[in-house]
């Protein structure tokens, strides 16, 4: 069995680079504390430990938590000892329950949805809660080779010794099979069809043949796979019917209500902001509501009151993009403003998110500004800021 890869952190002071705070007496952060985005199992280690300590329900083989505790980790709640588990996913509880129960069977899980519906976020947290390791990841692209799913070779050893276990380089999927943990495949439909189909034997027979050695790797109990796919990528590399049958598909919807979307954006921006020392979200909650309102109206093609039909731009205007716009606005407010999120701080970000096609989308945006934003009570400052940003 291949040995698990140990994750290490690099201390920049040990490789000849300049100190983090030259010319100051500030203490250097401990190694590993400088990660811009820690893995889910690291960022929420305290919550996972509290859940494991109080989880007395049956656990599938090699699971760190019971299915009930995994769902609680994703949806949030308060534990008997008073520990508050923050929600990682805001949406229908049944969707999370179906996803978690799928991983407890021998079927793989496919998270499907439009861009920005937290597919990657959910898959990472599922893997962290189930296996304690979300890093066994294959990133799907048009250039993803078959070796990324199966295995590769250390060519120096291969030439010196011939095919052997020592010369074999296991893929994340192969390691997950051998260790009985959860592997992740991102953007499955971006991968070439022949690479996708290498998963068929793995998912149906739970084995990975190694013809060069006359051997195979059999999946041990606890192994499963989470894949994500984008609705907008249909027709790029559609899944074969044989492969699709190996997955249980769960569709992640867009937030049902404006309040739910505002809550999601606020929570996520607050998490990102704390890691970047940006102002607190409550100082700009009104602007977050405006961003969400604009995105939802243009996305749905109708105003919230149902009175005015709108043209929709070519972009997705997803919740993830709203988070990006607000985070960028907070950075502007912190470094070039008074620290409070205002209309002028988000206007440029909204313009960039909406106007993807300079010709068609700009017409859609100008029409929305003049027919909706200009006439809306309390939005005069937002209208002026957007006009200035697009000037």
Dist CA 127 CA 246 (whole Å) = 19
Dist CA 391 CA 385 (whole Å) = 10
Residue 224 and residue 279 in one domain: no
Residue 175 and residue 282 in one domain: no
With cut-offs at 50, 70 and 90, classify the pLDDT of residue 235: low
The answer to whether residue 8 sits within a structural domain is no
Residue 201 and residue 316 in one domain: no
Average pLDDT over every residue of 381-386: 95
> Smallest Cα–Cα separation from 338: which of 272, 284, 271?
284
With residue 170 as reference, give the H or E element that holds it.
strand 168-170
Residue 269 and residue 226 in one domain: no
Dist CA 317 CA 106 (whole Å) = 36
Contact assessment for residue 73 and residue 65, using Cβ atoms and an 8 Å cutoff: yes
Q: What's phi and psi for 235, nearest 5 deg? A: 95, -10
Token readout for 249 is: 């598909």
Q: Which of 220, 251, 282 is the last residue of a domain?
A: 251
Q: Which of 233, 251, 269 is the last residue of a domain?
A: 251
Dist CA 342 CA 285 (whole Å) = 10
Residue 190 and residue 211 in one domain: yes
Average pLDDT over every residue of 321-333: 94
The answer to whether residue 195 sits within a structural domain is yes
Owning domain of residue 289: 258-389
Please give the pLDDT value at position 250: 96
For the chain, how big is the Rg over CA atoms in Å? 24
The answer to whether residue 165 sits within a structural domain is yes
With cut-offs at 50, 70 and 90, classify the pLDDT of residue 35: confident
Residue 99 and residue 227 in one domain: yes
Strand-pair category, 108-113 with 137-139: unpaired
Dist CA 381 CA 264 (whole Å) = 25
Q: Which of 206, 233, 251 is the last residue of a domain?
A: 251
The answer to whether residue 25 sits within a structural domain is no
Assign residue 52 the CATH number of its domain.
3.40.50.300
The answer to whether residue 24 sits within a structural domain is no
With cut-offs at 50, 70 and 90, classify the pLDDT of residue 200: very high
Residue 232 and residue 302 in one domain: no
Residue 308 and residue 239 in one domain: no
Could you report the per-residue pLDDT of 86-134, keeping only the tens digit for each? 999 999 999 999 999 999 999 999 999 988 899 999 999 999 999 999 9
> Smallest Cα–Cα separation from 254: which of 100, 92, 88?
92
């Amino acid at each position: 069995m291949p040995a698990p890869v140990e994750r290490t952190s690099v201390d920049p002071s040990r490789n000849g680079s300049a100190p983090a705070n030259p010319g100051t007496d500030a203490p250097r952060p401990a190694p590993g504390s400088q990660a811009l985005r820690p893995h889910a199992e690291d960022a929420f280690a305290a919550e996972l430990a509290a859940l494991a300590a109080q989880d007395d329900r049956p656990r599938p083989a090699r699971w760190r938590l019971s299915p009930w505790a995994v769902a609680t980790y994703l949806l949030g709640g308060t534990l008997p000892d008073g520990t508050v588990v923050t929600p990682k996913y805001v949406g229908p509880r049944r969707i999370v329950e179906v996803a978690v129960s799928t991983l407890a069977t021998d079927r793989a899980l496919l998270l499907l949805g439009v861009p920005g519906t937290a597919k990657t976020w959910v898959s990472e947290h599922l893997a962290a809660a189930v296996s304690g390791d979300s890093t066994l990841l294959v990133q799907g692209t048009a250039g993803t080779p078959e070796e990324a799913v199966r295995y590769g070779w250390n060519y120096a050893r291969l030439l010196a010794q011939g095919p052997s276990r020592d010369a074999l380089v296991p893929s994340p999927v192969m390691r997950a099979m051998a260790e009985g943990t959860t592997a992740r495949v991102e953007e499955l439909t971006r991968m070439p069809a022949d690479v996708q189909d290498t998963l068929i034997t793995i998912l149906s027979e739970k084995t990975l043949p190694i013809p060069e050695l006359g051997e195979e790797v059999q999946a041990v109990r606890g192994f499963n796979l989470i894949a994500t796919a984008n609705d907008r990528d249909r027709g790029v590399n559609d899944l074969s019917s044989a492969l699709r049958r190996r997955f249980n598909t769960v569709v992640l919807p867009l937030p049902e209500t404006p309040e739910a979307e505002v809550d999601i954006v606020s929570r996520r921006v607050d998490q990102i902001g704390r890691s970047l020392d940006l102002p607190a979200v409550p100082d700009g909650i009104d602007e977050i509501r405006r961003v969400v309102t604009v995105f939802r109206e243009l996305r749905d093609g109708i105003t919230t009151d149902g009175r005015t039909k709108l043209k929709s731009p070519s972009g997705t205007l997803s919740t993830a993009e709203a988070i990006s716009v607000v985070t960028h606005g907070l950075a502007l407010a912190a470094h070039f403003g008074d620290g409070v999120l205002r209309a002028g701080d988000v206007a440029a970000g909204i313009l960039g998110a909406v106007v993807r096609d300079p010709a068609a989308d700009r017409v859609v945006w100008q029409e929305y500004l003049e027919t909706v934003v200009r006439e809306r009570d309390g939005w005069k400052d937002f209208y002026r800021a957007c006009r200035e940003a697009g000037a």
